[in-house]
Amino acid sequence: MELRLHDTLTREKRTFVPLDPNNVRMYVCGPTVYDFAHIGNARPVIVFDVLFRLLRHLYGEAHVKYVRNITDVDDKINDRAARDFPGLPLNEAIRKVTEQTGKQFHADVDALGALRPSVEPRATEHIAEMREIIERLVAGGFAYVAEDHVLFSPQAMNAANAGLPRYGALSNRSLDEMVAGARVDVAPYKKGNTDFVLWKPSKPGEPSWPSPAGITAEGRPGWHVECSAMAWKHLGEHFDIHGGGIDLVFPHHENELAQTCCAFHQQRMANYWMHNGFLQVESEKMSKSLGNFITIRELLADWPGEVLRLNMLKTHYRSPIDWTMKSLEESAKTLDDWYRVAGDIEPGRPAASVVEPLLDDLNTSLAIAALHSLRGSDVPALAGSLRLLGFLSESAAQWEGRKQQASGIDTKEVERLISERTAARSRKDFKESDRIRDLLAAMGVAIKDSKDGTTWEVAR
Ligand code: AMP
Ligand code: ZN
């Protein structure tokens, strides 16, 4: 069966045909590194990791290139640096913020079982490519210089009529309506009210680089051109898949597409544009002001990363997801069970019943339903399928041990109490054995008696 993917641009599911099956290329917009990543940020990381794994399964590990950038020039980073390191020169403070946040991001996504992308480019290392794209856009008449800014003109793009896509096609908007609806307080140097920044002057003390297009003052890039430059450098002028969260469709991806297609005279930037739906928490939009803002790191203190991963994949990537405690508890129970049954089993080939739904635009909810059926019918296939999806990264004993450690339970003390209880039971002192059972329960330990003896686990 072939892979079919939903393309935001054409608004349909199409058979995936790579430009070059020996070099399948995917770009996903990564984080802006100024703060801990929240659980919403984990969604594109996990979703596109599953796609990366599936593409590697289909085309071979050596034939898939996945690029996820790190945005390390941004006003939010500058603000955070000034706030957290007031004593340091701004550029040094910025380096501290991006280094710390970048490290934390890696620790978080590693714990979620996400493979590292093939390349993780940083914006600040691609300024030359950004300047080159900007020069091309100015030379082509798509961009202009005004008061030390360089601005892109969507109207010039749509007037060019030169085998280019239409500005607004990705986000399904009409440029005329955007022009009519634009706010009135548009910056005075803009010729058109939908024109957007490719390059702007830096304020004193801010990071700055030599400017393109004959501007003498130093400056810095706009956000959208960063991704055009990094995608071009690592994947070329035209590649297979571009992904990110649904909030990025407009303006970020619309503008990336416009820049790249106009700079390189391409009809397309990516053949498939894929967007994950948004995540909300207990039926509410996640926001700092509502107090329901959860970082990946906070969740990892209470749950193994694979529990977060499973919880994310239970919902199809294009649907909104409601992140709830109840669902997390269910995901944890499911994984405990899968580890017990399949954690130490030699993995077989991933089952067709799991791969087929994945081929249908990453239908992970159906794939997970198939995993539940495999549990009773084919455990090696369950183990192989779980691995394909990025689960079972540890042994059953490691999983159980880590859970006990995370719960803060003293394993030795539990074992001691259990043998005391066994002794009490064999001398028929049921009062004492019940007392010990209650004591264990109060410690958060659930015990189970069977003919082979007493086992225990952390009660959730
Ligand atoms: P940012 O650092 O805000 O640019 O976000 C990084 C990635 O996380 C982007 O692909 C966003 O679309 C995605 N993202 C941010 N918030 C959410 C959310 N609540 N649900 C799903 N994806 C999100
Ligand atoms: Zn981007």
What is the DSSP secondary structure assignment for residue 61, as one 8-state letter?
G
Ligand 1 centroid vs 316 CA: distance in angstroms?
A: 16
DSSP-assigned states of every residue in 412-438: HHHHHHHHHHHHHHHTT-HHHHHHHHH
Pocket of ligand 1 contains residue 245 by CB under 6 Å: yes
Peptide bond into 251 cis (omega under 30): yes
Ligand 1 centroid vs 278 CA: distance in angstroms?
A: 8
What is the distance between the alpha carbons of residues 228 and 259, in angstroms, rounded to a whole number? 7
Q: Which ligand minimizes its atom distance to the CA of 260? A: 2
Task: Indicate which residue's Cα is closest to atom 4 of ligand 1.
Answer: 31
The reply to whether CATH 3.40.50.620 applies to domain 4-279 is: yes
Ligand 2 centroid vs 45 CA: distance in angstroms?
A: 14
Ligand 2 centroid vs 438 CA: distance in angstroms?
A: 55
Mutation choice for ligand 1 from 27, 29, 41, 109, CB with most ligand atoms inside 8 A = 41
Ligand 1 atom index nearest CA of 244: 10
pLDDT at position 460 is 63
Ligand 2 centroid vs 219 CA: distance in angstroms?
A: 20
Number of Cβ within a 10 Å radius of residue 329: 14
Long-range contacts of 14-18 (CB under 8 A, 24+ apart): 14/272, 16/240, 16/272, 17/271, 18/59, 18/240
Give the closest residue to 194 by CA, choosing from 279, 138, 258. Answer: 258
What is the distance between the alpha carbons of residues 253 and 251, in angstroms, rounded to a whole number? 6
Record the tokens describing residue 419, joined without a space: 């043998």
C-beta separation of 279 from 323 below 8 A: yes
pLDDT at position 456 is 85
**Domain edges within the chain:** 4-279, 302-397, 409-458
Task: Indicate which residue's Cα is closest to atom 16 of ligand 1.
Answer: 40
Give all strands of the β-sheet with 143-146 in edge-to-edge order.
143-146, 149-152, 196-201, 219-221
Ligand 2 centroid vs 133 CA: distance in angstroms?
A: 15
What is the distance between the alpha carbons of residues 218 and 201, in angstroms, rounded to a whole number? 6
C-beta separation of 26 from 65 below 8 A: yes
Ligand 1 atom index nearest CA of 247: 12
pLDDT at position 182 is 77
Mutation choice for ligand 1 from 67, 69, 80, 247, CB with most ligand atoms inside 8 A = 247
Pocket of ligand 1 contains residue 248 by CB under 6 Å: yes
Helices (H) and strands (E) in the chain, counts: 17, 14
Number of Cβ within a 10 Å radius of residue 217: 11
Task: Indicate which residue's Cα is closest to atom 2 of ligand 1.
Answer: 31
pLDDT at position 184 is 67
pLDDT at position 273 is 98
Tens of pLDDT, residue by residue, the chain (460 residues): 799 999 999 999 999 999 999 999 999 999 999 899 999 999 999 999 999 999 999 999 999 999 999 999 988 999 999 999 999 998 899 999 999 999 999 999 999 999 999 999 999 999 999 999 999 999 999 999 999 999 999 999 999 977 899 999 999 999 999 988 877 678 889 999 999 999 999 998 889 999 999 999 999 999 999 999 999 999 999 999 999 999 999 999 999 999 999 999 999 999 999 999 999 999 989 887 787 889 999 999 999 999 999 999 999 999 999 999 999 999 999 999 999 999 999 999 999 999 999 999 999 999 999 999 999 999 999 999 999 999 999 999 999 888 777 677 888 888 899 999 999 999 999 999 999 999 999 888 888 888 878 888 877 6
pLDDT at position 38 is 95
- Tell how strand 24-28 and strand 143-146 pair up: unpaired
pLDDT at position 206 is 87
Pocket of ligand 1 contains residue 44 by CB under 6 Å: yes
Ligand 2 centroid vs 347 CA: distance in angstroms?
A: 37
Q: Which ligand minimizes its atom distance to the CA of 321? A: 1
Secondary-structure percent of the chain, ordered helix, strand, coil, rounded to 5: 50, 15, 35
Ligand 1 centroid vs 47 CA: distance in angstroms?
A: 12
Pocket of ligand 1 contains residue 384 by CB under 6 Å: no
